[in-house]
Structures are given as C-alpha cells and as structure tokens.
Amino acid sequence: MTPFGARLRELRRRRKITLSQMAAALDVSPAYLSALEHGKRGRPTWFMVQRIIAFFNVIWDEAEELQRLAEVSDPKITIDTAGLDPRATELANLLARHVGRLPPETLDRLMAEIRKSVKDEG
C-alpha cells in the first residue's frame, strides 16, 4: 500500500463510503480505486487527486497533505546512481532488495535520518 492509498482508504472508511460509491462519484471503476489504495497502480494524476480532494471536501491543509502523499506514492521507482559515489549505488541496491523486510521502526528511523541530512544541506 502506498502512503496516498492508505490515506485514501482512511478517509473513505472514516466517512463510511464504500469503494463502489466513491468510484461512481468519481466516474472511475471500483477496481481502479482498489488498485490505487493497494499500490498496484502508479501515482495518481494531479487531476485525479483534485477530484478526490473535491469529493471529500477536505480543508486546505489536508488537501496539501493528499497532494504531497500522491507525489511520494509511486510504487515502482527507479533510482539513477550513475556518476554518484559508489556507496549510493550500493545503498540503492541494498534498499531495493531488503525494504520489504524492514520493520516499521527501522523505516521510520531511516526516513528521519535521510530527511535530516537533506534538510541540513539546504
């Protein structure tokens, strides 16, 4: 499941809206919405995110969060490490092989460390 898919499902369930009801309102198939929630579809388009925001009539902060989550929810990514430090290639490959086995607390710790490092660089 992607971060966007998890939030979509949470919003839908919190408001007691079925997948079929939401799909009909958005003029998409229930299968598409299910695949979006489960991360079996690529990142939703900007237009689809806007339709979902309008459907749920969310406040500004929550709308921005949905847009941010959509941007980081591509379930099939490619990392180009050409020309980088060899350790970058090793890290990318290591993560690709083992990310599915990392416990949530390790994922949180790694994300926090990377965010901190990137923020420190400017």
* Domain identity same for 67 and 13: yes
- Please check whether residue 79 lies inside any domain of the structure: no
Note if the pTM is more than 0.85. no
- Please check whether residue 76 lies inside any domain of the structure: no
Whether the Cβ atoms of residue 30 and residue 19 lie closer than 8 Å to each other: yes
Beta strands in the chain (DSSP E): none
* Domain identity same for 94 and 39: no
Bin 44: left if φ > 0, else alpha if -120 < ψ < 50, else beta.
Answer: beta
Residue 40's SS3 state is coil
79, 108, 71, 13: CA torsion to nearest 10: 140
Question: If you count them, how many residues does the chain have?
Answer: 122
- Whether 38 has a pLDDT exceeding 70, the answer reads yes
The pLDDT confidence band at residue 122, using thresholds 50, 70 and 90, is very low
